[in-house]
Chains A and B, each alone.
Chain A
Amino acid sequence: MLGIMAALALAVALPFVVSGYRVFQFTMVLDYAIAVFGANILTGYNGQIALGNGAFYAIGAYTVAILMTHAGMPYWATIPIAAGTCFVAGFLFGLPALRLEGPYLALTTFALAVATPQLLKYHGIESWTGGVQGILFDKPDAPAGVPLNSDQFLYLFCLFVTVIMFVLGANLLRGRTGRAIIAIRDNPTAAAGMGIDTSLYKSLTFGVSALFTGVAGALGAIVTQFVSPDSFTLFLSISFIVGVVIGGVATVSGAFFGALFVEFVPNYADQISKAAPWAIYGALLIAFMYAMPTGVVGLLRLIVRRIDPQWAIRKDAGKQ
């Protein structure tokens, strides 16, 4: 608890100590953290491998862009709508995905990720989506009377949404529903035997994951004020799953470590080698998997356990 408060205090202070572009980068970190958490709910906690969450990120982003430009809605009001739309989309995609296990689901969602830019470019919906060009819209300013520049304001707005999403998500996973979600991952037959409606829960988890990703997409669109089909490539979907695994599968705090990797490592790779930045990125990715196969949080836990073997036991005792 103390750790969380300290981290939050640090996060609030951040936009006042770093420069404008860094504020934008950290805003994106928060945004990716929500998306990575969403992917982790599905992949880490429920055991359904999702490689296509970029599609839901795109749906969230486009919902915001279309509502703001066509319906003239204020930016904050579009987020709940984006969340609802993505929940429904995720739930519906989850229905056929129910019957799929391991690699099959990975394949289906992989295909979804590859097809997303093409679907967004489809000329039948061009009057809404702006086709290849996408949609450009205005940057929201801080409300009148608030002494913040728009970057700082957007950062704090994202932080606010991030806190809400993580509190909701962590509570969901801690409660009865969360236990059901995890039970389905660990032993579907036993879970069904305990009276859990596994197919309903799996589809719902798909919906919830899509909802989180959609909120992240909505925030991402507001922060960059631009959506276009080519921002939602396979690579975006892959980034989320990279974030999940780098941070730590089935951990809540891992999302932030994963998001830091997703946002900053491509930049550093670019600084190391202008010619082949993604080769550096890929090599780093593989190196990370060798060094910490259970992610950053997994490594941290291992270290804590080395230093203080009783830690995990005390932590569990404290919960009761």
Chain B
Amino acid sequence: MQAFLHQLLSGIATGGIYASLALALVMIHQATHHINFAQGELAMFATYIAWTLVQAGVPYWAAFVLTLVFAFALGVFLQNVVLRPVQNAPFFSVVIVFIGLLVIFNSLAGWIFTYTVKTFPSPFPIRAWYGSNYLSPHEVGMTAVTLVVLVLVFAFFRFTNLGLAMRGAAQNPAASRLVGISVGRMLALGAGLAGAIGAVAGIMAAPILYLEPNMMSGILLYGLAGAVLGGIDNPWGAALGGVMVGVLENLAGAYVVGTELKLSVALLVIIFVLLFKPSGLFGRSIVVRV
């Protein structure tokens, strides 16, 4: 029972990382109807920036904030410079551009920071102050950070005018333009936010997974699985889906398939969800008018 609880809780903790990435993916998807396959690599690259800052002696939380600013700027830059020219190109061309970005950032990270695996500091104390060993302090802290991010993003979209404008631009670009919203600027803002959220996922994952250029490829897959499970048109569903995938992955890894086949669990989740509930657990099913 104790072992089970431990697996369950640490599943929730890693699930938080998947949830963040799923949220980033859904934000891009809602605004552009594309899946940003490069999201994981952008997060990985941002994590390297954080690592560099921490190595240079910048205090952890300052490095954290600076990295988020960097990731935001990178997202805005990519949206405006690389993706905007192809926004009217055929669907496949855009997919290829995302794949190009994935390859570029993976390679750049390997080139600049080398492929040697690096340890990444955790800002949380090593000793558990709460007298329990179900969860390591880093896992507790990670869960807390993820929750804060989710709440902030939720509040931003729900209670601010800018958030409302962004939702409008994603839902109905033409009508948004008519009421004076710059859709292009909203897309760039969305890409920047997605980049920053992804960076949080990367920074929180790095102390557990260790930092290397291919760190995020597995997380991207779990994030995708989470997004599909929760419904790709529902950000909160996707975040919850990410947590569920984390729990499922941990429990299946511990009790069913072993660590060797953990990634395949994500594949199975995706296939099963799509077989029985194609719009995800919390997504709207799409009715097409003929």
Contacts and interface: CB of A to CB of B under 8 A. Distances in A.
Interface in B1-38: 29, 33-35, 37
A108 B271 CA distance: 7
Q: What class of interface size applies to chain A in its complex with B?
A: 35 or more
A99 B278 contact: yes
Interface stretch (A20-28, A65-73, A287-295): A287-295
A234 B110 CA distance: 18
Nearest to B290: A189
Interface stretch (B56-64, B93-101, B183-191): B93-101
Contact of A100 (B92, B107, B218, B278): B278
Contact of B232 (A49, A104, A123, A288): A104
A111 B225 contact: yes
Contact of A290 (B86, B92, B106, B260): B86
Given A96-B274, A119-B261, A242 B96 contact: yes
Interface in B199-223: 217-218, 221
B90 A115 contact: no
B263 A114 contact: yes
Contacts of A293: 86, 89-90, 93
B111 interface: yes
Contact of A279 (B108, B217, B266, B290): B108
Contacts of B85: 290
B90 A294 contact: yes
A107 interface: yes
Contacts of B275: 96, 99
B270 interface: yes
Interface residues of B, number: 48
B26 to A, nearest CB: 11
B270 A108 contact: yes
A265 to B, nearest CB: 11
A43 B85 CA distance: 23
A112 B218 CA distance: 12
A120 B90 CA distance: 34
Contact of B111 (A100, A121, A279): A279
A189 B106 CA distance: 41
B13 to A, nearest CB: 22
A18 interface: no
B260 A123 contact: yes
A241 B96 contact: yes
Q: Which of B82, B86, B96: most chain A Cβ within 10 A?
A: B96
Contacts of B100: 282-283, 285-286, 289
Candidate in A100, A244, A245, A289 with the most chain B CB atoms within 10 angstroms = A289
Contact of B264 (A115, A244, A278): A115
A100 to B, nearest CB: 6
A45 interface: no
A253 interface: no
B96 A245 contact: yes
| Residue in A49, A122, A282, A294 with the greatest tally of chain B CB atoms within 10 Å | A282
Interface in B264-290: 264, 266-267, 270-271, 274-275, 278, 288, 290
Contacts of B260: 118, 121-123
B6 to A, nearest CB: 25
B267 A111 contact: yes
A89 interface: no
A276 B228 CA distance: 33
B95 A241 contact: yes
A211 interface: no
B95 A106 contact: yes
B103 interface: yes
B104 interface: yes
A74 interface: no
Contacts of A106: 35, 95
Contacts of B29: 103
Nearest to B217: A114
Contact of B274 (A100, A115, A294): A100
A282 B37 CA distance: 13
Nearest to A108: B270
Given A107-B224, A121-B260, A293-B93, A279 B232 contact: no
A249 interface: yes
B102 interface: yes
A115 B266 contact: yes
Contacts of B218: 114
B176 to A, nearest CB: 22
A32 interface: no
Given A111-B221, A119-B261, A289 B103 contact: no
Contacts of B267: 108, 111-112, 114-115
14 contacts: A103-B232, A111-B224, A111-B266, A114-B218, A114-B221, A118-B263, A234-B217, A241-B96, A278-B103, A281-B103, A281-B107, A282-B104, A288-B96, A293-B86
Interface of B: 29, 33-35, 37, 82, 85-86, 89-93, 95-97, 99-104, 106-108, 110-111, 217-218, 221, 224-225, 227-228, 232, 260-261, 263-264, 266-267, 270-271, 274-275, 278, 288, 290
Given A276-B111, A282-B100, 4 more contacts: A115-B221, A121-B260, A249-B90, A277-B107
